[in-house]
Structure 1
Amino acid sequence: MQFTPSDRLLFVGDSVTDTGRDREDPSSLGAGYVRLVSEALPPSVTVLNRGVNGNRVRDLEARWSTDVLALGPTVVTVLIGINDTWRRYDRGLPSPLPEFEAALGRVLALAEEKCAARLFVMTPFLLPATPEQETWFEDLGPRTDAVLRAAAARGATVVRTDLALHRAAEEHGAAALAPDGVHPTPLGHRVVAKAWLTAAGAGVGAGV
């Protein structure tokens, strides 16, 4: 896929996307995979980061009009789902799969219909750091399937972030990629960025 100076690539999701971006600076990309993707693309391409720590899909949908549609992106990348699983286990807050899938489908449809945006959907991931986290897959596995169905329904490009990180963990160890199982290290973010660039057919920069 070729990107041009007229393209506006918007990445949206939770803390994995947020990575400490400056809320007072709309151009801030944070310190994670979004910045790495931007650095690998031509400087004329606009890249925007609208990740927000702690977001579940319901939070994403609530801010979709202001944080996505109002910015007129030509490419929208969504990474969401791990907090929908996590909150079930640490706070007892369920995110029923039918509602999750429907909400994700709605926001993807809006981005396509209102902005004519090309869609990228990244799968949520987990590299268990504790035995307790191993049990999360009973929720995350079906949730990942729901993400894939929602992406297929809109013809979105899928980025198998989960598979890329699990392959990398076989080489480097899970702790080198995400010590708490969820939040990537710089190495983990490089793996995520490479997965996106590969799916986009955009090549991989030296820093990735």
Structure 2
Amino acid sequence: MRINEKDTLLFIGDSITDAGRDRTHSASLGSGYVQEIARTLRARADAGPGPVVINKGLNGNRVYDLESRWATDVIDHRPTVVTVKIGINDTWRRYDRGIISPVDEFEACLDRLLADTARKLSARLVVITPFLLPVTSDQNDWYEDLSPRTDAVLRAALANEAQVVRADLALLRAAEERAAAELAPDGVHPSPLGHRLIADAWLAAVDSVRP
């Protein structure tokens, strides 16, 4: 089902969604995939305004941080499409600060957020998978935590009939032809090209002509 100008799209997640947005201006979308999606949809709208797009990403957020602000940052805006991108910080904090986010608790929290949204809103739910493009040898070890976490994201999405955007697969495919650092200089935060690839994956999955 294609996005139209009557839709309100809300994106929530960590720094990858935040992408440097100006939090003093509610219309700021940052310089990442959210802005790329908005630009594409508005260009298609010709003279019209296109859909409303809201960015509620916050640097450093884990899934539990989303839960603490879900009512005000998601439900109160009454969006018609809610996109969640979360998980890499739940993994990263294990390796840089020793903060563990058990996968079962992570999954239960994400499931609660999606289920709560389904109960309160008539909104399409979209989940973007976390991803990693290792640029240092130690980052390869992160997959021990990230791989089961990605599986948890997929299970929570399936349980709540959310559409899935496989950013992990899209970026890994791109990394077969380009250096990982060209797509995500630190292995986590996308370059402009990386953000464009995520935007393209979202548009292909969500803004489809299929019913």
TM above 0.5? yes
Question: Deviation per CA, 1:92-127, whole angstroms, max 9, x where unpaired?
Answer: 000001110000001111111111110000000000
Please list every run of 5 or more consecutive structure 1 residues that lacks an aligned counterpart in the other structure: 204-208
Q: Who is 2:90 aligned against?
A: 84
Give me the whole-angstrom Cα distance separating, in 2, the residues matched to 1:5 and 1:191: 23
Contact in 1 for aligned 2:11/2:17 (Cα 8 Å): yes
Q: Which residue of 1 aligns with 2:178?
A: 172
Question: Partner of 1:155: helix, strand, or coil?
Answer: coil
Structure 1 vs Structure 2 CA RMSD: 1.0
What does 1:29-178 align with in structure 2 at a 5 Å threshold? 29-41=29-41, 42=45, 43-178=49-184
Match of 2:8 in 1: 8
| Contact 2:3–2:207 (8 Å) recurs in 1 | no
Structure 2 residue runs of 5 or longer lacking an equivalent are: none
C-alpha distance after superposition, 1:28-66 (max 9, x if no partner): 100000000001113321111000000000001101011
Distance 2:25 2:149 in 1: 33
- 2:165 alignment partner AA: V
If the length of structure 2 is used for normalisation, what is the TM-score?
0.94
Q: TM-score, normalised by structure 1?
A: 0.95
Q: Which runs of 4+ in 1 moved over 6 A?
A: none
Shift of 1:202: 4.2
In structure 2, what is the Cα distance between the partners aligned to 1:117 and 1:182? 29
Q: Is the 8 A contact 2:56 2:73 kept in 1?
A: yes
Task: State how far apart, in whole Å, the 2-side matches of 1:145 and 1:97 are.
Answer: 9
- Counterpart residue type for residue 24 of structure 1: T
